[in-house]
Amino acid sequence: MAVKAQAQPLASRQASVGTLRQVLAPIGQIFVFVVGSSLILGAIVLVLALLLSRTQANLLSGVLTVLPLVIIDGLVLGFLYATIALGYTLVYGVLEFINFAHGEIYMVGAFVGGGLGLWLASQGLLAAMHPLLFVVFALLVAMTASGLLAVGIERFAYRPLRNAPRLVPLISAIGVSLVLQDLVRLLAGPSRFNLRYPQLGLSRRFQLLEIPTAAGANLRVAIDSQSLIFIVTSLLMLIALNYLINVTKLGKAIRAVAQDRATASLMGINVNLIIAMTFFIGGALGGGAGVLFGVKYSTVNPYIGFIAGLKAFTAAVLGGIGNITGAMVGGIVLGLLEAFVSTYLTLFTGGRFSGPDYASVASFLILIGILIFRPSGLLGEATTQKV
Amino acid sequence: MALLELQNVHTFYGNIHALKGISLAVNEGEIVTLIGSNGAGKSTTLRTISGLLSPRQGQVLLNGRRIDTMPSHEIVKLGVSQSPEGRRIFPRLTVLENLEMGAYIHSRRDPQYQADLERVLDLFPRLRERVAQKGGTLSGGEQQMLAIGRALMSRPHVLLLDEPSMGLAPILVDQIFSIVQDINKQGTTILLVEQNALMALGIAHRGYVLQTGQIVLSDSAKRLSENETVQKAYLGLD
Ligand SMILES: Nc1ncnc2c1ncn2[C@@H]1O[C@H](COP(=O)(O)OP(=O)(O)OP(=O)(O)O)[C@@H](O)[C@H]1O
Ligand SMILES: [Mg+2]
């Protein structure tokens, strides 16, 4: 009896240590990839700068000055892609289906947040509100709206096709995304095609560090409020998602359904409900990303979902589709890569090539490369933390 | 009234007629075994009872109530649980998480949950040592234990076991069968599908012999094991 009393707490303690590790490990992995990609990309850039500085004076100091900004931009973009990519990967995990309407779910979230801002302003409530309160409020409303939208799409556009050949729901998804783009365009009307987010007066910059330089003037590394909000909020969403998937009963049920749908139903799990919940979670993350995008870049339009969706999909594939940590890591790597290409391609070619135009080229080259050389994704099969 | 009853059940896979009018009954407290050669329809019968397949004709009754029109997750709530063919452990969930999924229909705050977990870990001490291990990394025998344990976690009235001895070393087979008997003595009614007819008839009260989707024989386990045709066809005795 005494032995048993000892054995049980041990069993549950082992399990809860495992749980904590499961929640923190993906965050650790993100951190490793953030630092790793920044170092690798930074090193490549420095080597190029050194090689080119023979012909171009001052190149090296220019490169160094903008480096912190590039990394911050890359992180913002990276978290944007990561948050959207999770929607693709979650749904793929449970249904082995690419929800190509997910980019539009993100776009709708951006519009709901922006629309809420307009409405609050028209009621005179916005001015009385702390900007952060608005952000939180907009996030909650947009995440709910996008989540419900995703559930509705699943119910009416995908579920009836669940036993159809794989291409059929894919076509349905493309149809849904066209409908959503035009619906939002119609509802917004010509005057709000480019919907402006309210000016939140978040002009504060937070100094992170000060690097002394040879030239005397210290190099100040600062981050603007919007970027900070972006990074912190999306990081919180990622942690919450990890907790949800790894620790809660719902999360375990989602994983069970992903691994074996028929057996999950033998456990008493309502598979359709769990699939709907998965769409809700993915949709809510997408909607949240939409609001963060609006807050950071201040205008949104009905077509932002297309490219962002494509990039996020690339990120999901980069990390190994169906793999949650992979989607986060893939997003970060892709975002950093794009930020580096955007800035430094222009700088190194003396403006002959416009970096921002080629950033997407770099992303899609990566996608092609991954598909050819490492289809299981950056993290590979062995370490995958699949749904 | 029987606890579980099938009346003239016909089940199809597309246009493959797999069950051709199965009628059988399982009474409270019994171990009933279903034997038959490969492809006879044993697993199909269990899948039909659990609601993974719905019969095109006929009825499945639990305590006299029709369950054949219900989705499988509802049937579990009524007290019918299955350890499916091929174990079907969730490979990327840990042993503990697999067991937790077995108890999905109960709240985690259910005070009974810890007791259920203890009971299963007592039945299968090898699982206790491996609670944090991923299901997919267990050996075949351990997976079988986990599948049975998982099915017990819902506190079923009726436990459906599909070939619990498959691929196990003889010593483990004996162990599993004696555990099945223990589970039955603790009050769970069992419908046992087995290739290993000798062992199954050894612990069962009654048995049915299935052939190409039809029941060809049904009798007490004792008389079935003495039956000449059964001996020739399923027990490997001449
Ligand atoms: N998913 C399926 N699609 C089509 N036919 C199937 C399917 N599953 C089973 N069958 C057919 O139904 C019949 C009964 O199969 P079932 O799995 O019930 O046999 P079984 O008695 O359990 O055999 P075994 O002892 O080999 O497990 C077989 O002829 C089989 O080929
Ligand atoms: Mg079978």
- CA distances to A123, A255, A371, B110, B195 from B148, rounded to whole Å, are 61, 20, 41, 21, 17
Q: Which class does domain B1-79+156-238 fall in?
A: alpha beta
pLDDT over threshold 80, residue B238: no
pLDDT at A9 over 60: no
The pLDDT-based confidence of A217 (bands split at 50, 70, 90) is low
Q: Which helix (H) or strand (E) holds B20?
A: strand B16-26
Checking if the pLDDT of A78 tops 80, the result is yes
Q: Does A94 touch chain B (CB under 8 A)?
A: no
* Per-residue tokens: B151: 């099915």
Interface test with A, best of B70, B104, B130 (most A CBs within 10 A): B104
Residues 263-322 of A with CB under 8 A from B: 263-271
Q: Alpha-carbon torsion B231, B232, B236, B238, what sign? A: positive
Contact yes or no for B52 and A265 at CB 8 A: yes
Residue A376 has pLDDT above 90, yes or no: no
Nearest to A337 by CA among A29, A83, A77, A30: A77
Residue A386 confidence class, pLDDT cut points 50, 70, 90: low
From the CB of residue B56, how many other CB atoms can be counted at a distance below 10 Å?
11
Confidence of residue A213 (pLDDT cuts 50, 70, 90): low
pLDDT for residue A13: 54
**pLDDT tens, position by position, A276-306:** 999 999 999 999 999 999 999 999 999 999 9
Residue identifier of the C-alpha nearest atom 6 of ligand 1: B13
Beta carbons of A316 and A326 less than 8 angstroms apart: yes
Report which listed range, A128-132, A139-143, A245-249, A346-350, is most confident.
A139-143
Closest alpha carbon to B104 in A23, A277, A250, A246: A250
Total Cβ atoms within 10 A of residue A106: 30
pLDDT higher than 90, residue B8: yes
Q: What is the side-by-side order of every strand in the sheet holding B16-26?
A: B16-26, B4-13, B57-62, B65-66
Q: Residues 6 or more apart from B122 whose CB is under 8 A from it?
A: A4
Average pLDDT, chain B: 92
Query: Which residues are CB-neighbours of B129 under 8 A, at least 6 positions away?
Result: none
- Scanning A237-266 for CB atoms below 8 A from B yields 249, 252-253, 255-256, 259-260, 262-266
Give, to the nearest 10 degrees, the angle between helix A271-297 and helix A59-95.
160
Structure tokens at B32: 């009933």
**Rounded Cα gap, residues A308 and A314, in angstroms:** 10
**Mean pLDDT computed over A50-70:** 82
In 3-state terms, what secondary structure has residue A218?
coil
Listed in order, the ranges of chain B carrying CATH 3.40.50.300 are 1-79+156-238
Q: How confident is the model at residue A383 (pLDDT cuts 50, 70, 90)?
A: very low
Answer yes or no: do B92 and A259 touch at CB < 8 A: yes
Query: Which of B42, B85, B163, B191 maximizes ligand 1 atoms within 8 Å of its Cβ, making it the mutation to test the pocket?
Result: B42
pLDDT score, position B230:
81
CB distance B101–A7 less than 8 Å?
no
Residue A19 pLDDT > 90? no
A269 contacts B92? CB cut-off 8 A: no
Average pLDDT, integer, range A76-94: 94
What burial class does residue A53 get, using C-beta atoms within 10 Å of its C-beta: 0-12 exposed, 13-18 middle, 19+ buried? Answer: middle
Rounded distance between C-alpha atoms, residue B99 and residue B80, angstroms: 16
pTM comes to 0.91
Encoded amino acid at B27, one letter: N
**In the beta sheet, which residues pair with residue B22?**
B9
Q: Which DSSP letter does residue A219 get?
A: E
Rounded to the nearest 10°, the torsion over CA A364, A366, A371, A373 is: 150
Are β-strands B206-211 and B31-35 bridged in parallel, bridged antiparallel, or unpaired? parallel
The reported pLDDT for the residue numbered A222 is: 84
Pairing between β-strand B158-162 and β-strand B80-83 as defined by DSSP bridges: parallel
Residue of A11, A15, A252 with shortest CB distance to B101:
A252
Please state, for a pLDDT cut of 70, what percent of chain B lies above it.
Answer: 98
A11 to chain B: closest CA residue: B131
ipTM of the complex in this document: 0.94
What is the full DSSP assignment across A263-319? HHHHTT--HHHHHHHHHHHHHHHHHHHHHHHHHHH-EE-TTHHHHHHHHHHHHHHHH
Q: Which of A162-171, A212-221, A238-247 has the lowest mean pLDDT?
A: A212-221
Alpha-carbon gap, residue B68 to B83, rounded angstroms:
19
* Band of pLDDT at residue A215, cut at 50, 70 and 90: low
Q: Which residue of A has its CA nearest to B118?
A: A8
pLDDT of B82-109, one tens digit each? 999 999 999 999 999 999 999 999 987 8
Does B225 have pLDDT greater than 70?
A: yes
- Rounded to an integer, what is the distance from CA A104 to the centroid of its chain? 14
Q: What is the pLDDT of residue A92?
A: 92
**Most confident stretch, A4-13, A39-48, A271-280:** A271-280
Residue A249 CB burial class (10 angstroms; 0-12, 13-18, ≥19): middle
Residue A7's pLDDT is 43
- How far does the CA of residue B181 sit from the closest CA of chain A (Å)? 23
State the DSSP H helix or E strand holding residue A8, giving kind and residue range, or none if neither.
helix A2-52
The overall average pLDDT reported for chain A is: 88
User: pLDDT class for A214, splitting at 50, 70, 90?
Assistant: low
Query: Considering the domain A22-373 in this protein, what is its CATH number?
Result: 1.10.3470
DSSP secondary structure string for all residues of B104-132: TTS-TT-HHHHHHHHHHHHH-HHHHTTTT
User: Average of pLDDT values for A198-210?
Assistant: 80
